[in-house]
Amino acid sequence: MTTKDGYYGSDAVENKFSDPATNESYFTLVNEKTGEIEIYNEKISDEKRVATMETDGSVVYNNDWLSSATERDEQFIDIGVMTGSIKNHAAQLVNDESGLTPTDARSLLGNNTEAGDNPSQSLTGGSVDASSTDGLSTLPDGGQDLGEDRAGTRNKFGNHVFPTSIDPGQDVLKFNMMKYVPKKFDQKTFGFEDRAKDTRGRSIGSVILPIPAGIGDANAVSWGGNSMSAVQAALAQAALAGITKKPGEAVDSLLTSAQKVADNSGEVGTALANTLAGMASGNQNLITRTTGAILNPNLDLLFQAPTLRPFNFNFSLSPRDPKEAETVMKIIRFFKQGMSPIRSKSNLFLKSPHTFQLQYLLREGRRSREHPFINKFKECALQSFGVQYTPTGNYSTFSDGVMTQYNISMTFTELEPVFNDDYGDQDLAEIGF
């Protein structure tokens, strides 16, 4: 067994993961002091360290002529970096072997445990029991338990990348599927708490696709006209006094307003008197009948409500071999099943579908980060998903029956509006939300 002093991990069978394209096996070792992740390719007669993932998330490939990383090593590791699977694998090692507290484990790994990563996901798309993470990733409390899900409900979806041989330098759009968690009600403020920004522990699968054409966003808020005449303002003042003060003070407020009417002379007194008299008699147009005028409504445009942003995406998926065809099938099933409501075991309740966190990822050499020059997303619901099986207008398949091309379209809507404070108080050279 291969181990290394000062490192967590080994080449034990349970620690290995394989490249489905080549069936070559890999394993990781984690530095006990620095948190760096060493990635090894296990050959039949040799073991070689092909790369090191540093604590800032960057990857340094081994260029030694005896054990340099191959092009396929780099492709496979790049996919693992983009999906977060290598980080998850290393986090699981630390959790199992270190005896560290969850806080200390996260501190050791630094940016190698980014928000959104899920230690329960394996590199090959499999999973381990989430309970074994011992708090490294804790599922937030979502409120009352509505019972078990109906048999056949899927809560682990694996990680999928298309095309399978995607250029490591190509920018991508990552769809991270998450267990839905409702917002908590704060009984002190009689409002709902902010939705948790840290999605750690809720990720149950991901899909990575090239950024499509036609992307964009549109922020909007609702404003509407509103009027309040002088008489309405006086009545509102009296009503407010009745709510916030003693009932007698509300009467005093009305008497004060009536006295102000009596004290006015000329057109002001006449207009106000006619308006009040019309309201008392039920004839709202009395002042117009008698004077030909209306009381100034003081019309203003007032803020009414925020809106929720929708996002539409279209992709053409053309598999080139049986392996890519399998990936396309899994991606279509990923979105269709993930957006479907969940039945409780008793069939009494329908639970919310899984939700999605979207990210544009900017690839910089061997690193990826959230794209600063395109909009960010808040947590989204997938509201529609469509598949066109004959996008060219003709029925066309490979010899095994797989369609030669699939066009998919989807519409996401954010779960909550974008607020001013979401952008922060700094003047940054990035788009933000």
Q: What is the pLDDT of residue 62?
A: 78
> Percent of the chain at pLDDT above 90?
35
Q: What is the pLDDT of residue 338?
A: 96
Higher pLDDT, 56 or 374: 374
Token pair in block for residue 29: 């070792």
**For the residues 285-306, what does the mean pLDDT come to?**
81
- Whether residue 384 is contained in a domain is answered as yes
Question: CB of 403 within 8 A of CB of 393?
Answer: no
Does any domain span residue 115? no
Closest CA to 314 of 397, 387, 396, 403: 387
Question: Residues 285, 312: one domain?
Answer: no
- The mean pLDDT value for 150-170 works out to 89
Check whether residue 160 and residue 270 sit in a common domain. no
| Closest C-alpha to 157, from 85, 74, 239, 72 | 85
117-139 mean pLDDT? 35
Instruction: Examine the domain organization and report whether 314 and 419 are in the same domain.
Output: yes
Assess if residue 72 is contained within a domain: yes
Task: pLDDT band for 293, please (50, 70, 90 cuts).
Answer: confident
Query: What is the predicted pLDDT for the residue at 381?
Result: 97
347: left (phi over 0), alpha (psi -120 to 50) or beta: left
Q: Is residue 138 part of a domain?
A: no
CA angle 62, 66, 71 (to 5 degrees): 50
| 215 and 235 belong to one structural domain | no
d(CA 118, CA 138): 10
Within-domain flag for 433: no
Distance (Å, rounded) from C-alpha 76 to C-alpha 330?
19
Whether residue 388 lies inside any domain: the answer is yes
User: Which tokens belong to 52?
Assistant: 């090191």
Give strand pairing partners of 29.
38
DSSP 424: -
pLDDT recorded at residue 71: 76
Does some domain include residue 127? no
- Torsion 170-392-329-19 (CA) sign: negative
Last residue in a domain, options 268, 298, 328: 298
pLDDT tens profile 37-54: 999 887 745 568 888 888
Q: Residue 374 is encoded by which pair of tokens? A: 């395109």
The rounded Cα 165 to chain-centroid distance in angstroms is 26
> What is the number of domains present in the chain?
3
**Per-residue pLDDT band at 137 (split at 50, 70, 90):** very low
For residue 142, is pLDDT > 60? no
The predicted-structure confidence for 61-118, as pLDDT tens digits, reads as follows 877 655 677 878 887 888 887 777 788 888 888 888 877 776 677 778 775 544 333 4
Task: Tell me how far apart the alpha carbons of residues 384 and 353 are, in angstroms, rounded to a whole number.
Answer: 12
Max distance between CA atoms of the chain, in angstroms, equals 106
Model confidence band, residue 189 (pLDDT cutoffs 50, 70, 90): low
The answer to whether residues 402 and 322 belong to one domain is yes
Same domain, 199 and 325: yes
Per-residue pLDDT averaged across 239-268, rounded?
57
Q: Are residues 239 and 186 in the same domain?
A: no
* Residue of 162, 117, 155 lying closest to 136 (CA atoms): 117
Examine the domain organization and report whether 267 and 382 are in the same domain. Answer: no
Classify 351 as helix, strand or coil: strand
Class of residue 198 by CB neighbours under 10 A (exposed 0-12, middle 13-18, buried 19+)? exposed
Average pLDDT, the chain: 79
Judge if 25 and 162 occupy the same domain. no
Q: Given pLDDT bands bounded at 50, 70 and 90, which one contains residue 336? A: very high
The whole domain housing 59 covers 7-107
Residues 371 and 404 in one domain: yes
Contact 123, 156 (CB under 8 A): no
pLDDT class for 160, splitting at 50, 70, 90? very high
- Please give the Cα distance from 185 to 189 (Å, whole number): 9
| Residue 15 or residue 68, greater confidence | 15
Q: What pTM did the predictor assign?
A: 0.67
Looking at the structure, tell me whether residues 195 and 65 fall in a common domain: no
In terms of domains, do 279 and 410 share one?
A: no
Alpha helix (H) ranges present in 296-343? 322-338
Give the pLDDT score at 216.
Answer: 95
Q: Which of 107, 128, 157 is the last residue of a domain?
A: 107
| Closest to 87 (Cα-Cα) out of 51, 62, 60, 123 | 123
**Is the CB of residue 222 less than 8 Å from the CB of residue 304?**
yes
Handedness of CA 261, 262, 263, 264 (dihedral sign): positive
**Banded model confidence at residue 140, pLDDT cuts 50, 70, 90:** very low
Q: Is the pLDDT of residue 247 over 90?
A: no
Asked if residue 239 belongs to a domain, the reply is: yes
